[in-house]
Structure 1
């Protein structure tokens, strides 16, 4: 039987402080999807359900990426008909992994979503794979376990770096800096692991039995999909 993966997209469509559209980031869904498709049973959810907003800036940025363009043309039903995330509370036993796609959106809706945190805790404490890429780890950074400790406490993690955020000119528009809070809630600056250079691919596998998987940036999306497959034995 194929492993079952719950993929979560943001429902945040705008950054009001700078009047800028946002959403989920194209390659961070497309590249992992094509690693998993055909090998895993995939379900797509978002906080609001229905159509999850695609960051159009990522469409422009990756217009030369054949896989992203194929995904846009052939798989739009995946993000236009998402299920409500809250409907998956209490259902971790039905899945083998959860994966949070990046984009700036998760910094606003998933970072402090009690429903999302409950689901993440249930998955992790049920020894399911918990994974995220780029800004997707915003969904994990504040999640806590049943004992009240941060899920990422004492764990190596990665995510969109402060340098990368500065380079795209979005630091002042963010409600918090992801690298900063990943360091704080993991308990040590040294537990945040980044690529040698900004925009380089970096995937970190940690957690109990290697069940926590994080990727740094868009270049890490495909490799995160590969790490997910390996963790699932698929």
Structure 2
């Protein structure tokens, strides 16, 4: 049977300073989408509120805007997908074999405390599915608990955008919290590459996490291997 993957994207369009835009880091979606499309998987988008997911402007500039990004920007059908994402209450977790949390700083605001996304994640995982994230997408795993009350990430190996990368990207003073530290405080065994902005993927059972935008394709390949 055809595997089905649910991509999670943000609805947030600005940092706390409304004059500073953020949003979905597009390549983190497009790279994974391409990998899954090659496998023939059925793919869908969900966001915390449903509807439009706006794009992080920096993700649309060279060198981040590669061929896969440009293809999305010029494809009306794919742009429509980002304008009409589903709400969590419109999703039946039983329909999906994997969930993949995309990133961009926007997700730091609307992923962690969304109960609907937490329920979907828990249900997919406990049915034997794969839970995955890339870059800031791991913020969507911070507060997800399993049916036994334990945190999904507790005592699990994970990675995600590091604090060093936040500093080097010049946004450390703009983000609402230190995601790396928050993950550690929840009992996760956080790992990162020796060098910043280098691809790194960590697999712990059916939990797959990628560190940064450069890790999106490799993360999706690891998810596909598990599926």
Identify the TM-score tier after normalising by the shorter chain: over 0.9
| TM-score, L = length of structure 1 | 0.91
Deviation at 1:64, TM superposition (A): 5.1
Q: Pick which of 14-23 and 33-42 moved more.
A: 14-23
Say what the alpha-carbon RMSD is for the aligned residues.
Answer: 1.5
Q: Which residue of 2 aligns with 1:197?
A: 195
- 1:1-234 to 2 correspondences below 5 Å: 1-17=1-17, 19-38=19-38, 39-62=40-63, 65-74=66-75, 75-88=78-91, 91-187=92-188, 191-206=189-204, 210-232=205-227
User: What is the distance in 1 between the residues matched to 2:63 and 2:194?
Assistant: 23
Is there any run of 5+ residues in structure 1 with no aligned partner, and where? Answer: none
Deviation at 1:198, TM superposition (A): 0.3
User: What is the distance in 1 between the residues matched to 2:49 and 2:179?
Assistant: 23
Query: Secondary structure of 2:104's partner?
Result: coil
User: What is the distance in 2 between the residues matched to 1:193 and 1:48?
Assistant: 31
User: What is the distance in 2 between the residues matched to 1:13 and 1:142?
Assistant: 22
Deviation at 1:186, TM superposition (A): 2.5
Deviation at 1:118, TM superposition (A): 1.6
Aligned length: 224
| TM-score, L = length of structure 2 | 0.94
Deviation at 1:67, TM superposition (A): 2.0
User: What is the distance in 1 between the residues matched to 2:201 and 2:105?
Assistant: 19
User: What is the distance in 2 between the residues matched to 1:211 and 1:170?
Assistant: 31
After superposition, what is the alpha-carbon deviation per residue over 1:114-133, rounded to whole angstroms, capped at 9, x for unaligned? 22112211121222110110
User: What is the distance in 1 between the residues matched to 2:183 and 2:154?
Assistant: 9
After superposition, what is the alpha-carbon deviation per residue over 1:166-223, rounded to whole angstroms, capped at 9, x for unaligned? 1112122222111111111135xxx2111110001000111xxx21010000110010
Q: Pick which of 146-155 and 74-83 moved more.
A: 74-83
Is there any run of 5+ residues in structure 2 with no aligned partner, and where? Answer: none
After superposition, what is the alpha-carbon deviation per residue over 1:126-172, rounded to whole angstroms, capped at 9, x for unaligned? 22110110000000012111222211001000000000011112122
Query: Secondary structure of 2:186's partner?
Result: helix
Structure 2 CA distance for partners of 1:73 and 1:63, relative to 1, 3 Å? farther
Deviation at 1:86, TM superposition (A): 2.3
User: What is the distance in 2 between the residues matched to 1:174 and 1:148?
Assistant: 29
Query: Secondary structure of 1:76's partner?
Result: helix
